[in-house]
Amino acid sequence: MNIETKFFRFFNNFFYSTNTKFVGFQNKFGITIFFLFIGFLSGNLFGTILNGIRYYINWDGFIGIILLFLIESINFIFYHNKNRKFFFFFRSSFKIPKSNLLRSLNFFKIGFMFGLFIDAFKVGS
């Protein structure tokens, strides 16, 4: 009797792909949560540090523009494709590989934005 049936091959392929995805998730989960929490903490502390930044930059609009530029630059690097323009004038034809540092920076950015969002609720109430 042949044990290599179609169902058996499907079951083996499914088990192998699920196992490799779980091991990849298990390896990256800790560093992902770490950078999300560090970003969240930085976003919450940004309101406290903002008073110190105001001594060097007079207008809060400049601080917002700089922060927006940094966030949009990270978004462009992480989520761009070849035909998308950067700030309506720069067309890139290069592909940036998604390294662990870039993924960590993206999770830090997500945590930072979430921290700003939660801090806005604290200020509003």
Among residues 2, 30, 36, 13, the alpha carbon closest in space to that of 111 is found at: 36
* DSSP element (H, E) containing 86: strand 85-86
Residue 1 pLDDT > 60? no
Residue 56 pLDDT > 90? no
Task: Return the number of other C-beta atoms located less than 10 Å from residue 35's C-beta.
Answer: 20
Query: What's this model's pTM, rounded to 2 decimal places?
Result: 0.70
Burial of 105 (0-12, 13-18, 19+ CB in 10 A): middle
Judge whether 45 and 55 are in contact, CB under 8 Å: no
Q: Tens digits of per-residue pLDDT, 6-49? A: 878 887 888 788 877 777 777 788 889 999 999 999 999 988 88
